Structure 1
Amino acid sequence: MLNSIRTFSFLFGYLPLSTVNLKKFIKQKPQLSVQEYDQLIHTEPQKWATGIMKRTQSNVTITGLEKLPEGPVLFVSNHEGNFDIPVLLSKIPKPFGFISKKEVKKLPIIPLYMEQMNCVFLDRTDRRSALKSITDTVGKLKEGHSILIFPEGTRSKGEGMGEFKSGFMRIAKDSGVPIQPIAILGTSEIMEKNNNKVLPADVAVQLLDPIPADVIEQLNAKEAIHLVRSKIEEAIAGLSRQTTNK
């Protein structure tokens, strides 16, 4: 219970303080390049996410950072739990936005940062919104921003990776950027498997070899989706074996 109190107190308590910096950052935007501004904005979400993970008392390891390419990428990851975003924000130095359900807009301050991070809001009950989110994400990638997407569409809660919805592949093909697959193991152990109580967990993140845009273009959508999903699935199995052998 103490972990939960510490974690959520920081999650919401840090945000009002960060708005001071957010206003300063926005004023600097006209003088900065896309990459410079994204990197500047990334500093606060990364501090926020690092503080959250510290308070869960979890041990997070990440491998494959050397595989990060230059320029915009579409990060494609499996989705275990609610702590996937804080884990990735705290550990990946490359700035990125992500696709989020529209309900997040009702939260205080968080949406203000998400808009500056180039996040895209999706209403999953509205087909038009889903199509617009694809178009918006393609536009942001073409502008030079990186975006993270969870193609399962919902958390697996550690019950095995679900099927990948096809929208992410349309985004990849239309934007012409590489896909950076990510495998995550262990985030569901922080909350989802504990009746929503926050407990320490061992979390492993692995960045896989990027899949170049020309390779994606040569494959049909079904083949490309299978390629990405199988790579992530194989990596998760490897991470699971490593955990078992410890």
Structure 2
Amino acid sequence: MVFLFRLISVVIIGIIICVLGIIFCLLNPRNPKNVARFAHLFGFVFKPIMGIKVDTRIYPDIDKLGSCVYIANHQDNYDVIVAANVLQPKTVTVGKKSLAWIPFFGQLYYLTGNILIDRDNKSKARNTIGKVVNEIKKRGISIWMFPEGTRSRGRGLLPFKTGAFKAAIAAGVPIVPICVSQTNDIKLNRLNNGHMIVEMLEPIETKNLCKEDARALMEQCYTKMANKIAQINDEAKQLNNQK
């Protein structure tokens, strides 16, 4: 019964939000401020429906930072709900081009100003870093990327790719790691899916780095994030054991 209620609610409410969002964004298409607006709305609406409580910890002076590259661990489709409130204004995500073909959601994803890349076309995929750097400099925006390049689906933090780190160095902007506690225990047929924790770590400056430093920067971020994810996983377990 819980499963059916959630499935119907998510589909119907999701379509309504997307349709209204598309109409809203058509008045001001590709405005990067709309990404955070609709991410926060999705989180506000769907967290209670999914029985999720999220402790969101945002770095205190993040609003003074300016443009940056956010990197986050990528687990599954629940990321868009769990990590919604940590998304900052004028931040867009980088997603595969096929997302645009998802009915309703894909059109909203494009119109809010996110960056679409063609992963199947290797020559175009190689230009992703240049495209990201150009968007940061031209539009004065921040970029959200998943350095694992795929969803981990309960396998822990997967190895990183260097793209996000090369982009941050080329643009001369900080890297801001974001850690999300495990979401693979979320069940559609469970009434209370418990607590999750999302924590934004201290920004890491890149201004004095060159492209040869990208791998070392990647390894530094991976270690920081792996340690923090282990810590917040333990915290979330303790909170859930108190239920």
TM-score grouping bracket, smaller chain normalisation: 0.7 to 0.9
CA distance in 2, matches of 1:188, 1:244: 13
Alignment partner of 1:46 out of 40, 43, 50? 40
For the 8 Å contact 1:78–1:151, the answer to whether it is kept is yes
Asked if structure 1 preserves the Cα contact closer than 8 Å seen for 2:35 and 2:91, the reply is no
Does structure 1 residue 25 correspond to structure 2 residue 35?
Answer: no
Counterpart contact for 2:147–2:164, Cα < 8 Å: yes
For the 8 Å contact 2:101–2:107, the answer to whether it is kept is no
Distance in 1 separating the partners of 2:112 and 2:21: 14
Between 212-221 and 170-179, the greater mean CA deviation after superposition: 212-221
2:127 matched residue in structure 1: 132
Asked if the contact 2:182/2:233 (under 8 Å) is kept, the reply is: no
Q: Take 2:144 and 2:163, find their aligned partners in 1: how far apart are those partners?
A: 13
- Report the 3-state secondary structure (helix = DSSP H, G, I; strand = E; otherwise coil) of the residue aligned with 2:28: helix
**Cα deviations across residues 125-171 of structure 1 (Å, max 9, x unaligned)?**
32112112222111111121111101111111122110001111111
**Is 1:84 aligned to residue 79 of structure 2?**
yes
Matched, 1:225 2:218: yes
Q: How far off is 1:208 after superposition?
A: 0.1
- Residues 42-191 of structure 1 aligned to structure 2 (within 5 Å): 42-68=36-62, 69-143=64-138, 144-190=140-186
Residue identity over aligned pairs, in percent, reads: 22
The size of the alignment, in residue pairs, is 232
Deviations 1:91-124 (A, max 9, x none): 4343321111221111234344333443222233
Runs of 5+ consecutive residues of structure 2 not aligned to the other structure: none
- Counterpart code for 2:76: G
Q: Alpha carbon RMSD of aligned pairs, Å?
A: 2.4
Residue 3 (1) aligns with residue 19 (2): no
Secondary structure at the residue paired with 1:214? coil
Deviations, residues 172-201 of structure 1 (Å, cap 9, x unaligned) = 1111111110001132222xxx5xx46534
Residues in 1 aligned to 2:136 and 2:45: alpha-carbon distance in whole angstroms: 28
Give the aligned partner of residue 207 of structure 1.
200
In the TM superposition, what whole-angstrom CA distance separates every residue of 1:58-96 from its partner, at most 9, and x where no partner exists?
111111341424311100011111121233333434332
Residues 74 and 177, structure 1, Cα contact 8 Å, conserved in 2: yes
Q: Cα 1:218–1:40, aligned 2, differ >3 Å: closer, same or farther?
A: closer
TM-score where L is the length of structure 1 = 0.83
Q: Which moved more, 1:137-146 or 1:11-20?
A: 11-20
Among 12, 15, 21, the alignment partner of 2:15 is 12
C-alpha separation in 2, matches of 1:216 and 1:25: 37
Q: CA deviation at 1:211?
A: 0.5
Q: Say if 2:181 and 2:229, in contact at 8 Å, map to a contact too.
A: yes
Question: What secondary structure does 2:184 align onto?
Answer: helix
Aligned partner letter, 1:63: R
Q: 1:223 to 1:51 in 2, by over 3 A?
A: same
Does the CA contact (< 8 Å) of 2:32 and 2:92 recur in 1? no
Q: Is the 8 A contact 1:78 1:152 kept in 2?
A: yes
Check the 8 A contact 2:58/2:86 in 1, yes or no. Answer: no
